[in-house]
Amino acid sequence: MSRKLMQKKTVTKSLIRSAFITLLRKKDIEDITVQEIVEEAMVSRSVFYLHYRDKYDLYETIAADLLNELFTLMKQADLFPLDILLHDNYDQNRPLNITLQFLEYIHANADIYTVFIHQKDFQIRFAKALSNILYTGNALPRIITNHIAYGSIGTIMEWLAKETPYSVHYVAKLLSSLTVCEILQYKNLRIE
């Protein structure tokens, strides 16, 4: 495939995605039609179907991309091993730096995350993926990683709301402090 054709394909997909997100801000996915998407994107239906089976395939593709990008970033941030927090000598700035990087990415893409994080299935998938990352190595029990993940999602949802004036740094500090406190509390409660 030529470079020019690849660029055109990328631009077309971007137009379709943007149109879909614009519509998703206004109404539920069930109420959006492919016709509305193509009109908003200014592409033909055949072009839409060249890239996606239906609106749910488009939604799934965007959601999967968002989660993959976010968790690739977290893995690159060397989040592991979290169990180091269970030991007495750890760098207290490390969780803040990782959380800050995580939230800076979400903030930079707030237009799309604001829409998707309010979709119930995306919330669940996001929380499960975050919990799985925290659970890696089984240093923490699932109940703790789920609590951290679901609590973080709720905080991020509130933060992304337009009327919430908190800075990225403030929210990162809040989430990392709460996470570290919960892990350290677990350390004091667990039976060794």
Report angle CA 166, 152, 70 to the nearest 5 degrees: 95
pTM: 0.81
Q: Within 10 Å of residue 101's Cβ, how many Cβ atoms?
A: 16
Residue type, 75: K
Q: Decide which of 176 and 71 is more confident.
A: 176
Mean pLDDT value across the chain: 85
Distance CA 175, CA 99 (A): 7
The domains found in the chain, sorted by start residue, are: 3-52 (1.10.10.60), 60-189 (1.10.357)
